[in-house]
Amino acid sequence: MTYIVGFLIDKFCYKVYNLIGSVYMKKCAFIYNPESGKTNSKKDIDKIVELLEINGYNILLCPTEYKGHAIKIVEELEDVDLLISCGGDGTLNEVVTGNLHRKEKLLLGHLPTGTTNDVGAMYGYTKNLVTNLQLLLKGAVKNIDVCMIDDKPFVYVACIGNYVDVAYNTPRDLKKKFGRFGYIINAINEFKSDIKKYKLTYEIDGKVYSGEYSFVFISNTSRIGGFNNIYDDVKLDDDMFEVVLVSVFNKAQLAMTMTSVLTSDINKVKGVTYFKTNKFSISFDEVPTESWCVDGEELKHNNKKFDFTINKEINMLVPRKNIVKLFKNIEEVDQLK
């Protein structure tokens, strides 16, 4: 009889312990793209779940099933303590987009598993998913600048011109097989076409300019297309973004200009106009036939005029490795609680 009573008491206490634990455990929604990169297998996800549970989280797994699905998931998600996106730069873009649509914004984190992963590399992540999660959970909460093209957010770059469609037109099987070199293989075919000219009028800080240009880049990153340190002293919280307009119209000059941008001061490169600002408007003399490339994804449009601004509503949990380099307000670094 004593044994039975003791057994029942132990069982009751165990249930109470689990109930209390579930109430006080933090909640984490984990949105991942099963088709991104070469990871996100069941084995990888199991390791992620285990590590999050060890760190005191109840996990809601949310695999994406189609382009734009992450936006809908975040819009409809109940409040959680941490929302992690796992995938390429496009997956992060969708999660940020969905978060901006919410009245109450969620704290975001990102684990890169795509092909190029410019954002992940900039933050100092490795190629190991579990290691990256450990870096993230030991990171700090920072308010970040989210750039906007009209009402569409982008995390690191929006660009238009010849060849930029390589980022979203490269076949998935080519990226899976060759990784970053898949883009290069596809770009060789794209390079056969002539360089497009755009007649533009643009306004920066109240001043109006006009001219003919071949490429336009608006970014908030130190890395684009796998290339590092394109700009000096990029900060992700200084309420500024970088604007580059290129007026080069033959392929030989374009190759020389690209080399110069990567190896010297961008302010001194012939054919390149460079600004730092937080408000930029650009008007084409006619609707461009090319789409914008936004965080590696296609943004179709039917407009001649585009406005670029900054949104300050998003907080992200980021690894500490490159915080001093990437953020202006170091004294505002907060530990995740």
State the burial class of residue 249 (Cβ atoms within 10 Å of its Cβ: 0-12, 13-18, 19+). Answer: middle
Query: How far apart, in Å, do the first and last CA atoms of the chain sit?
Result: 46
Has residue 277 been placed in a domain?
yes
How confident is the model at residue 185, as a pLDDT?
Answer: 46
How confident is the model at residue 3, as a pLDDT?
Answer: 41
Has residue 26 been placed in a domain?
yes
Q: Kindly provide the b/e burial profile for residues 263-285, where b requires at least 16 CB atoms within 10 angstroms of the residue's own CB.
A: eeebeebebbbbbebeebebbbe
Assess whether 304 and 190 both reside in one domain: yes
In angstroms, what CA-CA distances link 229 with 180, 224, 261?
18, 9, 10
How confident is the model at residue 39, as a pLDDT?
Answer: 54
Has residue 56 been placed in a domain?
yes
Assess whether 171 and 269 both reside in one domain: yes
Neighbours of 53 (CB within 10 A): 13
Assess whether 238 and 112 both reside in one domain: no
DSSP 78: P
Assess whether 163 and 303 both reside in one domain: yes
Has residue 336 been placed in a domain?
no
Has residue 102 been placed in a domain?
yes
The pTM (predicted TM-score) of the whole model is 0.84
Assess whether 169 and 318 both reside in one domain: no
How confident is the model at residue 118, as a pLDDT?
Answer: 80
Assess whether 58 and 175 both reside in one domain: no
Has residue 337 been placed in a domain?
no
Assess whether 102 and 46 both reside in one domain: yes
In angstroms, what CA-CA distances link 232 with 199, 218, 237, 269, 332?
29, 15, 15, 14, 22
pLDDT in tens, the chain (337 residues): 554 444 445 444 434 434 444 455 899 999 998 876 555 567 888 999 999 999 999 999 999 999 999 999 999 999 999 999 998 888 999 999 999 999 999 999 999 986 667 888 889 898 889 999 999 999 999 999 999 999 999 998 999 998 777 666 655 665 555 455 454 544 555 555 678 899 999 998 889 999 999 999 999 987 777 677 777 788 999 999 999 999 998 888 888 988 888 888 888 899 999 999 999 999 999 999 999 999 988 999 999 999 999 999 999 999 999 999 999 887 655 655 5
Name the amino acid, one letter, at 296.
Answer: G
* Closest C-alpha among 206, 282, 272 to residue 245: 272
The residue range of the domain holding 52 is: 2-145+313-331
CATH number, residue 45: 3.40.50.10330
Has residue 276 been placed in a domain?
yes
How confident is the model at residue 190, as a pLDDT?
Answer: 58
How confident is the model at residue 1, as a pLDDT?
Answer: 52
Quote the radius of gyration of the chain (alpha carbons, Å): 23
Are 87 and 32 in contact by the 8 Å Cβ rule? The answer is yes
Rounded to 10 degrees, the C-alpha dihedral 76/77/78/83 comes to -150
Assess whether 159 and 105 both reside in one domain: no
Q: Mark out the alpha helices in 158-246 (DSSP H runs).
A: 166-169, 172-178, 180-190
Has residue 299 been placed in a domain?
yes
Assess whether 92 and 164 both reside in one domain: no
How confident is the model at residue 294, as a pLDDT?
Answer: 93
How confident is the model at residue 143, as a pLDDT?
Answer: 95
Q: How many domains does the chain have?
A: 2
CATH number, residue 219: 2.60.200.40
Alpha-carbon gap, residue 55 to 26, rounded angstroms:
9
DSSP state letters, 267-286: GG-TTEEEEEES-EEEEESS
Assess whether 18 and 92 both reside in one domain: yes
Name the amino acid, one letter, at 320.
Answer: R
Sequence-ordered strand ranges (E) for 131-240:
140-149, 152-154, 157-161, 198-204, 207-213, 215-219, 223-224, 227-228
Assess whether 189 and 293 both reside in one domain: yes
Token output for 159: 């660009």
Assess whether 92 and 232 both reside in one domain: no
DSSP reduced 3-state for 206: coil
